[in-house]
Each structure stands twice: as C-alpha cells, then as structure tokens.
A = this chain, B = another copy of it.
Amino acid sequence: MATIIDGKAIAQTIRNEIADEVRSLSQTYNKVPGLAVVIVGTRKDSQSYVSMKRKACAEVGIRSIDLDLPEQSSEAEVIAKVHELNENPDVHGILVQLPLPKHINEEKILSEINIEKDVDGFHPLNIGKLAMKGREPLFQPCTPKGCLELLTRSGIRIKGKRAVVVGRSNIVGLPVSLLLLKADATVTIVHSHTHDSESIIREADIVIAAAGQAKMIKGDWIKPGAAVIDVGTNAVDDPTRKSGYRLVGDVDYEEASKVAGWLTPVPGGVGPMTVAMLLRNTLDGAKRKIAQ
C-alpha cells in the first residue's frame, strides 16, 4: 500500500516555519510582509478561495491588504488599483484572484503587476528564468513549487528519475515540468495529443497529474512504487452529500493506493501546499525588500 503524502500536515509545518521567519523579521526590522489579495465581483468559489488565503495570511502574521472591487469595475479601474499596490511599500505581493469578470482582459491585468510583487510567478520573464539553466526566477509559481516540496519533504529523490507530467497548462503542467528538469529529472510531458499516454505514464518514477480529468489515471497505469502527485480537483456528482458533489483528483485514488509508493489525496494533498507557497513567496518578496 502507498504511503499517503499528507499535504495538509506538510503545509502546516511550512506555515509554522513561515510564522517563525515573519516573527523574526518583524522583531529585527519592525516590519511585516504584506500580501494584497484582489477580488473583482462576487463569485462564490473565488470568495471562498480569497477568504482562505486571507485567513492563512493572518495565521502566519502576514498582513493581508484586502481589495474587494465590484463586479462592474472597469479594466482601467482595476489597473489603477494594481498600480497603487505596485507603489505601496507595505505590499510585497499582489494576488489577483482569477477568473476576472468577462469584460476584463486577465492577461493585461496580470502584466501590470510589478514583477517584484508577482508572487504567483506567472510573468513570462519569471517563466523564462525558470526554464533557463543558470537563471532563477524571482518567484516560482505556487502549485508547481508545492509539488516539488511534497516530493522533497517526503524524501523522494528527483535527480535522475523518470518524471511524467500529465497536462501542460501555463499554471501547473508547464512550470512543474521545468522545475523537475532543473532538479535533474528526465521529464516527459504528456497531453491531449499524446498517443498511448498510459504506457508512457507506466514508465514514470514520478507522476504529476495535472490534466483536470476526474480519475483519468488508473491503477494499472502506475509503475509499482512510483510517487504520484495528484494536482486535479474535479467536482463529481455525489447525491449522498448535502452539497450534491465531491472533489476527486485526476488519479483513481482507490486503485492507485494499491500500486504507488507514495500518493497525495484530493483534497488534502497539493491544495494546502499552494496556499503555503503563496505565503512563502510573499515572505521571500518581503525579505528582499526589508532585509536588504
């Protein structure tokens, strides 16, 4: 049976580490890291993510600067707010919760964020430096960074291992591939045009599942003993629940737990790590400014 990687517990350890560092930063410089969390509109899921992030900030002593803009805000108004936050010395990270209302161009808003405060790490300059040997980005994207942390903190060696990443999105698949390559894994990226993904995944010592397809990866697709990190969070109908649905990953958990060496659950695996890495990036951004 697979060792279940407890993302919630690892994330809590990291949050404690962050809280310690924030405390010591505050004692030495009398300043705390600040994260601006911007939400436009009233989407329920976005509101719940945002309140989770704000709560997480509070818990580790990071000041969260909350901007709740109305649904009908214009693109120019949102950009003006981003510019204000760029200028604000108490803000070390800026997070704009996606998706934005349809009349606002997301790429345009994101590209207005000062690269030194781009704690999501999605700026193309950051991605380029992430990709290149001998270069380092200011911030690594949170979910990919969280995947690597789960591996290393579980004692799983990456160097020289076969890693297969399923999915190639800009926010997970692509950057996690680049991080694994930098960590000296032999990386293959599998996607919607790949023939026979199954047999490719079966060769992997490390699988990162980020395809967004519920239970796509079956138990017999997994090499016995492999480490499987499941980034998927797919809502499937579940009439036995009050909500009418439950969340499942891209991996068939029941089957995979009998084959894999390590496996992350959904929820409770990668999800808590994303928030922890956001806090970590904010702290790192603040340290660069405060503790020069």
Residues of B contacting A102 with CB < 8 Å? none
Please tell me which stretch of A86-94, A185-193, A279-287 contacts chain B, meaning at least 4 of its Cβ atoms lie within 8 angstroms of it: A185-193
Specify which of B132, B134, B186, B193 is in contact with A159 (CB 8 Å cutoff).
Answer: B193
A131 within 8 A of B: yes
Specify which of B130, B160, B191, B193 is in contact with A194 (CB 8 Å cutoff).
Answer: B160
State whether A131 touches B193 (Cβ < 8 A). no
A90 to nearest B CB, angstroms?
28
Give complex CA distance A162, B184 in Å: 21
State whether B191 touches A186 (Cβ < 8 A). yes
A173 to nearest B CB, angstroms?
9
Which of A126, A135, A187 lies at the interface centre, i.e. has the most chain B CB atoms within 10 A of its CB? A187
Residues of B contacting A190 with CB < 8 Å? 186
Specify which of B162, B185, B189, B195 is in contact with A181 (CB 8 Å cutoff).
Answer: B189
Specify which of B134, B160, B174 is in contact with A132 (CB 8 Å cutoff).
Answer: B174
Known contacts A133-B168, A133-B169, A170-B133, A186 near B193 by CB under 8 Å: yes
Residues of B contacting A129 with CB < 8 Å? 124, 128
Which of A128, A132, A162 lies at the interface centre, i.e. has the most chain B CB atoms within 10 A of its CB? A128
A178 within 8 A of B: yes
Number of A residues, CB within 8 Å of B: 34
State whether A132 touches B170 (Cβ < 8 A). yes
Give complex CA distance A187, B193 in Å: 11
State whether A131 touches B133 (Cβ < 8 A). no
State whether B186 touches A131 (Cβ < 8 A). no
A19 within 8 A of B: no
Contact indicator per residue, chain A 115-139, by CB within 8 Å of chain B (1) or not (0): 0000000011111111111110000
A32 to nearest B CB, angstroms?
31
Specify which of B124, B133, B160, B189 is in contact with A174 (CB 8 Å cutoff).
Answer: B133
A151 within 8 A of B: no
State whether A160 touches B128 (Cβ < 8 A). no
A156 within 8 A of B: no
Residues of B contacting A133 with CB < 8 Å? 168-170, 174
A25 within 8 A of B: no
State whether A194 touches B186 (Cβ < 8 A). yes
Specify which of B184, B189, B193, B200 is in contact with A160 (CB 8 Å cutoff).
Answer: B193
Residues of B contacting A191 with CB < 8 Å? 184, 186
Binding site for B on A (CB under 8 A): 123-135, 159-160, 162, 168-170, 174, 178, 181, 184-191, 193-195, 200
